[in-house]
Structures are given as structure tokens and as C-alpha cells.
Structure 1
Amino acid sequence: MTDVFTPAKRSEVMSRIRSTGNAATELRLASLLRAEKITGWRRHLSLTLPPSPPRSTRPAKTSQPLTPPAKAAAKAAAKAKTGTAASARRPRVRPDFVFRAQRVAVFVDGCFWHGCPRHGTRPRQNRKFWDEKIARNRARDRHVTRRLRQLGWTVLRLWECALTRQRQAHTLARVKRALGK
């Protein structure tokens, strides 16, 4: 059956759809944590990250003093060049599980959406799009993990497949080790 929307309209429609999370895998981990009597966690607690430091903090040298309008224009140009205007917003991250007291953030990554090396599959249709999409997801994961670690958090990234019966003992041991229990 052919699509009733143009590609541009379909893209607009799809961009408005928001995910509801990976509820089944998160509920599986929550039940494992409860069974092991691991407490102190909250689901989907929003953490605000400070903006990333700009790459270059040294202002450009000029030979003449700037007038106030020129100073504002130079400042705006510097922000646009270094990208600090976009990073001035305080980005938020919502780990699947947060242990605030121990400063541990746990993410449960889906094998498909995050490109699990064992179980990640790629659709045959529109392969280029999916390869780029999963690469962006993985790059965002690396960035978030790095920023949280810079702020003193311990970050655990668990694959969806790590919650199976065969691997759950190993997964729970990782969580306990991160919590210092």
C-alpha cells in the first residue's frame, strides 16, 4: 500500500511521535532489583547537566577597542562559532534508574536501538537511515556517559539481553559492585 503523505509530511508526522520508553526491560530490571532487595533507586529521575565547557575560552584579540554594539556582535559571533549558544541550555538526561545516594546512573539499552554487538539487527529496508540513526544513538550515549562521569557519577549501561535468566546473575553482580554492596 502506498503512503498517503509526501515524504516531507511523513517526516513531520513521525517527528512528533515520542517514545514511551523500554518499559518491559526496565520492569524486568526493577523486578530483579526488588528480588535482590536492592533499594534506594528511582526510575527516570531527571538529571540536569551543566553545559559542556567551550573548546576555546580565549577571546580573539583585536587591535582597537570595541564599541558596545560591536562588542555584542562579536560576542554573538563567538558564541555561534564555538557553539556555546546551544550549550548554554542546561541539557537534561533521564537515566532509567538512579541511585542518588551512591551517585549511580543505570541505563538499560535496547539491543536494536543501541546496536548491541550480539543481538542488534538492522532492517533491510532503508539501511543507510538505520545505520546513521543507531550511530547517532551510540554517539549520544557516549557523550552522556562521559559527562556524567566527569561530574562524579558511576554510569552502568546494561544491554537488554543482559536481563535474561542466563545472564541476570552477572548483571546483578555488576549493579551491586557499582553500588559498593
Structure 2
Amino acid sequence: MDLGEGRRARASVELKVLAKTRRIRAYLRWSDKGSTRRPVYLGEVENETRRENLAEAWRRAIERGLVLPDEETPDTSWAASRSVRASMRGNRSRDTSPEKLLRKQLYERGARYRVSHRPLPGLRRTADVAFPGVRVAVFVDGCFWHGCVDHCRWPGTNEEFWRNKIEGNRARDAETNRALKESGWTPVRVWEHEDPADAADKIISLVRAKRHLATPAVDASQHAVP
């Protein structure tokens, strides 16, 4: 953190569990001249694991520009700071909380699907949820990493790097959608901020519609009673 006058301090994330509600609050802490300063409240986190909660807390600190680049970061590292690297390590590529919540809603509605499925063998793109029979591929996109217009906030430090990174992700998403459509698949994008129940309803409706279109029509005249 920047303490002013050219001074910096290393920060850490602390998670506190409220005794009555069991809600988890995240704080950014640091020391100045040996004294612990008042922590910065990062908000409540509600993931299933401590690792996921820590990753989310670091991400919020990065988005708010509270974390500064680490001068000791190796040139070979693309992460701007140790906190960023911690966030990257804690940020899962699969089985995130939004993904699991969506899968739960789909399963409760009777849907059966594949998890982390690669629709096109020759294309390195993995759908979070897939229905191969009707060729529907679902991707659960994080608001920060995929540039949600409502919730993505550019970090205050190393802004050019992060903007290029996120814009690159968005371009990759568009290319993935195009490739899937050209191969007969229907891509579905679900933002992490969306209600999983609403998203599941839309996906189920789409799967049923495609399944209905794929079912050959029966000529009633062939079964008419003479």
C-alpha cells in the first residue's frame, strides 16, 4: 500500500466471521512504523472455501487500486504484485461458487449435463456446463475477468496491463462464440452476478426447445385407424 511520501507497506487480507449471522467480512490490513493501522473494509464474501474468499477479497482490493506493484516481482512474472499472484493462485478455473450454484439449480430441475466439457476437440475452449446431445455450451463468466459493463472496475494500478488482459478475454469469448455457432453449437453466457435460478430456467427452456426441434415429426396419417 502507498503510505505517502514514498513509503510503502505490505498488506494482508483478514477474514472475520460474525458470531450471530455467520457472515464473513473481508478486511485489508497493514502496518506503519510497527503500528497496525485501521483496516480497510472490502465487503462480505460468501464462497464455500477460505481460499475462494481470500481470492475474492484480493480481487476487490486490486479493483479499488489499494494494492501497489511489488518492486521485487520478477520480470518473467505477468502479475503486477504479490497480491495479484495470490489472487491468481486462489482463483479457480473450474468449480467456482457461481458454477456450482448454477449446476445445483439445473440438477434440481432434472437436467443432466457434462462439467468442464470441450465442445470442439480441435479448439482449446472448455464449457463450464454442456449438453452435447443438443449442442448447448454454457460458460459462467466472472464480472471482473470478462469485463461486465455493470460490475467490472478497472484496477487503479497497472491499468494498461489489466485493460489489455480483460479486453483480450472479451475478444476470446467472442471468438469462442463464433466458432461454436459455426459448428452447430449454441453458446450461452451467464454472468456471475445473475440469479442462478433464473439462469437455469433459461438454459432448461433452450435445451428443451432444441431437443424438440431435433425430434423427427410423426406423420399422423401413418397411424390413422382405417
Normalised by the size of structure 1, how large is the TM-score? 0.65
Q: 2:107 matched to which residue of 1?
A: 34
Contact 1:47–1:92, Cα closer than 8 Å, also in 2:
no
Over the matched positions of the two proteins, sequence identity in percent amounts to: 32
Deviation at 1:94, TM superposition (A): 0.7
Task: State which of 128, 135, 146 in structure 2 corresponds to 1:103.
Answer: 135
Is there any run of 5+ residues in structure 2 with no aligned partner, and where? Answer: 1-9, 11-69, 210-226
- Paired AA for residue 115 in structure 2: R
- Paired AA for residue 207 in structure 2: L
Q: 1:61 matched to which residue of 2?
A: none
Deviation at 1:131, TM superposition (A): 1.1
Deviation at 1:5, TM superposition (A): 3.6
Q: Deviation per CA, 1:17-51, whole angstroms, max 9, x where unpaired?
A: 77631511111111111222222x111012335xx
Deviation at 1:127, TM superposition (A): 1.3
Q: 1:59 matched to which residue of 2?
A: none
Deviation at 1:142, TM superposition (A): 0.2
- Paired AA for residue 165 in structure 2: K
- Paired AA for residue 115 in structure 1: G
Task: State which of 63, 74, 77 in structure 2 corresponds to 1:10.
Answer: 77
Contact 1:99–1:105, Cα closer than 8 Å, also in 2:
yes
SS at match of 1:92: coil
Deviation at 1:129, TM superposition (A): 1.2
Confirm or deny that 1:94 pairs with 2:145: no
SS at match of 1:44: strand
State the Cα RMSD in Å: 2.4
Q: Where in structure 2 are the equivalents of 1:52-63 lying within 5 Å?
A: none
Is there any run of 5+ residues in structure 1 with no aligned partner, and where? Answer: 50-89
Contact 1:104–1:154, Cα closer than 8 Å, also in 2:
yes
Greater C-alpha Rg: 2
Distance 1:177 1:132, change over 3 A: same
The structure 1 segments of at least 4 consecutive aligned residues displaced by more than 4 Å after TM superposition are: none
Greater RCO (Cα-Cα under 8 Å, separation 6 or more):
1
> Higher strand proportion, which one?
2
